[in-house]
Structure 1
Amino acid sequence: MTKLFLFLFTIYFFTSCVQFKKVATSFNGNCRQLKKYSNYESNSIGQQSKYIFESSELTMLKQVYELDKLVDKDELVTIINLLEWTHKTIPYSYGFSGDKTKSFSNPRNALTMLKNKDDKNMVFVCRDMATALTEIYLSIGFKARTVTCISRYFNDNDVHVVTEVYCKKLKKWIMVDPSFNAYFIDNNNQILNLCEIRDHFANKLDLKTNSNVNINNLAFNSHKYLKYMSRVCFDFERAIDIEFGIENKSVKRMILNPKGYSKKKYTDSEYLQITNNTDLFWN
């Protein structure tokens, strides 16, 4: 239990306090490492995730912020509308360096963050942004999950947290990043999920972002974003079951770690499952 606590504290701390930490890596070097460690198992045996849409908090979230007004007859348009609304409504604290005079959202959920969005003493890091967007999607009835993207480098504890949402129209999960108003597109203009993004990096396949990547309405260099994501798309972590307020609960979580890589020591426990099964993790 002590090892689990230390691991989860490390993820929480660095998600909260480190943004784009300078680590001596290159885009090509990151891609080579992803290619080197790209061996996984593939079968659907294991616990399937549950997505809980019914709660008074989700109903309140939808009603108070009139999220129905962002719903379009085109499902993908709705997904992008909700991404952009979250990005514009909650200010992302890019580059936060641990100022102790600032406060984090407590409890960490969309209702609390939206209530305090104009408080200059509040900090909203990537985990906050992704948590809020995930809960906003749940309130509309979308399957969605908050996913932590983890670097492979032993001396690099930086992580980035994003949202994946299931699009029935595309019959697949897609990744959206409310911190940067970002998503990834392939040569066929298809929006990608994290599994596909990692594969594109590993195999040096063409990959681009949407044109309006930004931080608080200030344009952000998409090449810098690509390089950063190539560094942190090595391991992934998420809760197994998804519901409102999950960031404030002790729930079982899962880490996807490629075969053959053991420099970061993860330990199975009551609250943490380590797997190299892509079907299980991305179900």
Structure 2
Amino acid sequence: MKKLSSILFVLFVFAIPAFAQQQYKGLPVIKANAPAADYKIGKEWTKGSWNIMPELVPDVMLVPVPGKKVGVTFRTDRDSISFQVKPGKTYQFYVQLNEKDYALTELRGFGFEGIQFNKAQKVAGYTFLYVQNQNNEFLQTLREQYQLDALVAGAKNDTEKALRIVNWVHNQWQHNGSNTPSKPDALTILAEVKDGKQFRCVEYGIVTTSALNAIGLPARTMGLKMKEVETIESGAGHVVLEVYLPDLKKWVMLDGQYDVMPVLNNVPLNAVEFQQAIVNDYEALEIRSLSGTSKGKYIGWVFPYLYYFDVKFDNREGMALQREKIDGKSSLMLVPAGAKQPKVFQVKNPMDYLKYTHSLIDLYEAPKMAQQDVLSAK
């Protein structure tokens, strides 16, 4: 009888979570008092960065799944819930905030799917303008005022210079996705940072690009956009930059917001190479960062943005330049083979400034630094 009682007690204990799990509209509910939550994907916790937002229906968390499935735990200050998330599957639950509002939360698993571009074309179809750092008053001011030469002094190669610059910019301010500067140039942004302002990924890209141009490494900001860029209402884009490293003779992606340079087999990667390495060489892929950015967290966050890639035709630096265009368009977007050419950003913002290409060489020709006056489609 004692043995039977013990068995019943064990069964009762293990049954408690099933009976205790509340439901709302047929979905499980966890409770929270604080609006910030933690989550764990695989073995890695991210603490306090998820905001519980009942106004978003649903509030979607994209979950990267490198293999067939990954364990995910969502934890509030009062409760937690766990799932085994698979690619292409969704998992919904409610978070009841302060015993009142219900936040419909959705975990959306995605795998690392490859995309293809035209590699057959050997001659670029467009010209781009890149800055001459000699006798450029804007860049000289930036270089001297912020002592950029001292920052890169002693660097063994261009890769190390780029890593030092992106780390320096990363540490200038904390990210704030709501603020914009009074003028979108590096000197204005850094001056306003001194006054206590914080800015978006856009401004990390602008300042890092200008700082690299100031030390003689050709650089350009790059817009990354999700496949669903036209239908997602917010958060459909991210801004990074690419720098051309003369000693390697290649373009390399940097992310100033996260202090990141992707590297595979000791070779820094451009944005498209980064996307392909995530799909094909995840284990060997390195996220190089002087501030120690997590590989898993960064790749899981940035991968959905690595679908559309756009850069400006005119990448010169200065305060009052008349920007050159091609056929009235200011930027070129690299579109995966067979993919739609997006015309709208986040439901309601026309992207009427773009020309489109499927060809890698159009985006990744080495910069020609000779003086150029006119842009053209070749």
TM-score range relative to shorter protein: 0.7 to 0.9
Classify the secondary structure of the residue corresponding to 1:149.
strand
Classify the secondary structure of the residue corresponding to 2:221.
strand
Following superposition, the deviation at residue 263 of structure 1 comes to 7.1
Match of 1:3 in 2: none
Identity of aligned residues (%): 23
Q: Distance in 1 between matches of 2:332 and 2:319?
A: 14
Residue 261 (structure 1) aligned with residue 339 (structure 2): yes
Q: Return the match for 1:164 from 242, 257, 260.
A: 242
Following superposition, the deviation at residue 48 of structure 1 comes to 2.0
The CA deviation string for residues 159-204 of structure 1, in whole angstroms up to 9 with x for no partner, is: 1111211112222111111111111121x22221112101112335
Instruction: Kindly indicate which of the two structures has a greater share of residues assigned to helix.
Output: 1
Following superposition, the deviation at residue 153 of structure 1 comes to 2.5
Residues 117, 335 of structure 2: 8 Å contact kept: no
Q: Distance in 1 between matches of 2:322 and 2:296?
A: 36
Match of 1:26 in 2: 64
The CA deviation string for residues 73-132 of structure 1, in whole angstroms up to 9 with x for no partner, is: 5232222221222122x21325x3x4xxxx521211110111111333x23111101100
Match of 1:84 in 2: 167
TM-score, normalised via structure 1 length: 0.77
Letter in 1 for 2:222: V
Letter in 2 for 1:26: P
Q: Return the match for 1:53 from 132, 135, 141.
A: 132
Q: Return the match for 1:225 from 285, 290, 298.
A: 298
TM-score, normalised via structure 2 length: 0.59
Letter in 2 for 1:107: K
Q: Distance in 2 between matches of 1:247 and 1:163?
A: 22
Following superposition, the deviation at residue 209 of structure 1 comes to 0.9
Q: Return the match for 1:209 from 287, 299, 309.
A: 287
**Closer/same/farther in 2, CA of residues 229 and 270 from structure 1, 3 Å limit:** closer
Following superposition, the deviation at residue 40 of structure 1 comes to 2.5
**Closer/same/farther in 2, CA of residues 244 and 39 from structure 1, 3 Å limit:** closer
In the alignment of these two chains, the number of paired residues is: 249
Match of 1:115 in 2: 191
Residues 213, 222 of structure 1: 8 Å contact kept: no
Who wins on radius of gyration, i.e. which is larger? 2
Q: Distance in 1 between matches of 2:340 and 2:246?
A: 36
Match of 1:273 in 2: 355
Q: Distance in 2 between matches of 1:73 and 1:93?
A: 27
Instruction: Kindly indicate which of the two structures has a greater share of residues assigned to strand.
Output: 2
Classify the secondary structure of the residue corresponding to 1:195.
helix
**Closer/same/farther in 2, CA of residues 147 and 27 from structure 1, 3 Å limit:** farther
Letter in 1 for 2:247: K
Match of 2:24 in 1: none
